[in-house]
Structure 1
Amino acid sequence: MHSWISFSRFVSVAADLVARSIYHRLEWPYARQILSNRRLRLSPVESWQDPYERWWLDRVEKIWPAGAMPGAYGMCWTRSYLDEPAWRAVGFNKTHPIVRIKCSIPALASALAAVEDHSILFFLANVRYRPESKLSQLAEGFHRPSRVRVASLLAHKRNAFQSEKEVRLLALTLDKAASELFIPIEPHELIAQVMISPHASEEQVQEIKTTLSPYGIPCVRSLVLSPKTR
């Protein structure tokens, strides 16, 4: 299981998360909302559509008395930054261009530490990938549940997904009342760079750069498809 280092009283970072920067790919309109609204959005883990996420969450919930598991909200980041297939995977069947937000671990942890609701516990961890049989054993081994233990369990996935190199941001609350959870941010303090998909058109690239200009955030287009980078 994960060992945690306290960044603040309410923010814990996994001891093995040594990456200097992490990345989040998403469609440009949603990235633009992050900028204009000055907040990150965490969605309820139980709302995630992936059937394997649902399979694992069902097992994590079983370590709690019926209906007693705390609210769990998450946002998926990654350590992956060079691979072109990631652009295609995120952009599959999407209408809008994909962008990649880059931030440092300390910058994100600082934004979490500034959240005023101190009933929320935040966790930032590398996802660990295990065989399905090992995952089931992990869940069955817990008999005294806590939010720290839930965070450790939710930062696990099946081996089939290890190419994602996922870093998971989790927020554990005392209830499940909210349909989403927002983290206030200052975009220029949190976001170190925005990178535009190599598959975006020149017109889309210019529109994104123009929108980002007032924020003072560096913006570049991915050169992964450039002959010079092959």
Structure 2
Amino acid sequence: MIKHMDSFRDKHLRGICKDDYVYKYIPFKYLKAMLQSRTLRINKVLTWEDPYENFFLKSDFNTYSPFYNQNIPVATQNLIDRIYGQSWTSLEESDAMWRIYSNVKDLDFIAIRLKIKVDNLFNIVYTDDDCMATTSIGRVNYKTDKEINQWLDNIKDNTDIISDFHKYVKDCLLIKRKPFSHEEEVRIIICNGTSGTAKDFLEFDIKDLSVFEEFVIEPRLEQDCVELITQRIEKLGIDRSKIRKSKLYDFQPTKLTI
């Protein structure tokens, strides 16, 4: 079973290794829900703010119909509605990420940074072979608008797009525009089948909370608030030794003799 999972993992890790670490800056409110339910919730990609997400499936597809003797549009909304994703990052420390994901004025939305090995994250979303056929964890490639248009132009030159369709879908979901490159994003991407009703989100059991190696608290907080959050995380089943405040803003002046 282990060798079997290894082969699936190696096939579905893209631009990242199983022993790499990834991080997630998550507001305390959502961390609490995750630890209480012991589930990892993965939402639809279409809920993400950037309109360029999933740009391949947002193209105007058409195909020739002998019946109508002309090209007719091909709807892709059913596919778009069944693609799920979750963002992580390879950045262990980032001022920008703290400021994007954390609100120090609201306890529920103070961010905590999780640390997990890619291999353990893979094991959470691995359920069976059918699931893994449509699941991948990959590093995002950042491209200029010109490079993205070139990528699409290369697809136009393909006389048999349908044969590589699913590959294009997966590749597209690991492409993002250059202005977002500061995120150094790593993504879980899951493309569900088109049968049945599309779920609003997917949930995966976290069988062992120890796979999360660190819970690092927002660096701008006063110590009393850090202690309060530490106690609350500890009550959710996390060992205190794994919880600490980020040292991003810790400063020790150098002693100089003049």
Normalising by structure 2, report the TM-score.
0.75
Shift of 1:124: 0.6
Residue 110 of structure 1 aligns with an amino acid whose one-letter code is: N
Shift of 1:83: 2.4
Q: 2:209 corresponds to which residue? A: 188
Percent same amino acid among aligned pairs? 19
Q: 2:64 corresponds to which residue? A: none
How many residues are paired up? Answer: 221
Q: 1:84 corresponds to which residue? A: 95
Where structure 2 has 5 or more consecutive residues not aligned to the other structure, the ranges are 62-73, 156-160
Is 1:209 the counterpart of 2:209? The answer is no
Q: Secondary structure at the match of 2:113?
A: strand
* Higher gyration radius (CA): 2
> Residues 56 and 172 of structure 2 are in contact (CA less than 8 Å); yes or no, is this contact kept in structure 1?
no
Of the three residues 58, 61, 69, the one matched with 2:79 is: 69
Write the deviation string for residues 115-160 of structure 1: whole angstroms up to 9, x where unpaired.
Answer: 2583462111110011112213323434124434312111000111
RMSD of aligned residue pairs (Cα, Å): 2.9
Q: Secondary structure at the match of 2:12?
A: strand
Counterparts of 1:43-62 in structure 2, within 5 Å, are: 43-50=43-50, 54-62=51-59
Q: Secondary structure at the match of 1:227?
A: coil
Is 1:128 the counterpart of 2:152? The answer is no
Q: 2:249 corresponds to which residue? A: 225
Q: Could you tell me how far apart the structure 1 residues matched to 2:30 and 2:178 are?
A: 29
Write the deviation string for residues 171-206 of structure 1: whole angstroms up to 9, x where unpaired.
Answer: 110137111111211352431111000123434322
Normalising by structure 1, report the TM-score.
0.83
Sort the Cα spacing of 1:223 and 1:9 in 2 relative to 1 into closer, same or farther, 3 A: closer
Shift of 1:31: 0.6
Which stretch shows the higher mean deviation, 215-224 or 150-159? 215-224
Sort the Cα spacing of 1:194 and 1:229 in 2 relative to 1 into closer, same or farther, 3 A: farther
> Residues 139 and 153 of structure 1 are in contact (CA less than 8 Å); yes or no, is this contact kept in structure 2?
no
Is 1:151 the counterpart of 2:151? The answer is no
Q: Could you tell me how far apart the structure 2 residues matched to 1:135 and 1:188 are?
A: 39
Residue 85 of structure 2 aligns with an amino acid whose one-letter code is: G
Residue 17 of structure 1 aligns with an amino acid whose one-letter code is: I
Q: Could you tell me how far apart the structure 2 residues matched to 1:138 and 1:94 are?
A: 43
Sort the Cα spacing of 1:148 and 1:203 in 2 relative to 1 into closer, same or farther, 3 A: farther
